[in-house]
A = this chain, B = another copy of it.
Amino acid sequence: MKPNDILQQHEVKKTLSRIALIKALQTSNQPLSENEIRVRMLDQYDRITFYRNVQTLSESGILHRIVIDNTHVKYALNCCEKEHHHAIDHVHFYCKECGKTVCLDEVPVQQYPLPDGFKLDECDVVIKGYCKDCPGNHNA
A98 near B: Cβ within 8 Å? Answer: no
CA distance A5 to B92 in the complex (A): 39
CA distance A131 to B122 in the complex (A): 13
Is the pair A132, B107 in contact by a Cβ cutoff of 8 Å? no
Residues of B within 8 A of A69 (CB): 67, 70, 124
In which size bucket is the chain A interface? 35 or more
CA distance A122 to B118 in the complex (A): 26
Contact of A70 among B71, B102, B131 (CB under 8 A): B71
Residues of B within 8 A of A123 (CB): 125-128
Is the pair A132, B116 in contact by a Cβ cutoff of 8 Å? yes
Q: Which residue of the partner chain B has the closest CB to A117?
A: B132
CA distance A30 to B70 in the complex (A): 20
Given A73-B70, A110-B110, A114-B93, CB of A124 within 8 Å of CB of B132 = no
Given A67-B70, A70-B67, CB of A129 within 8 Å of CB of B137 = no
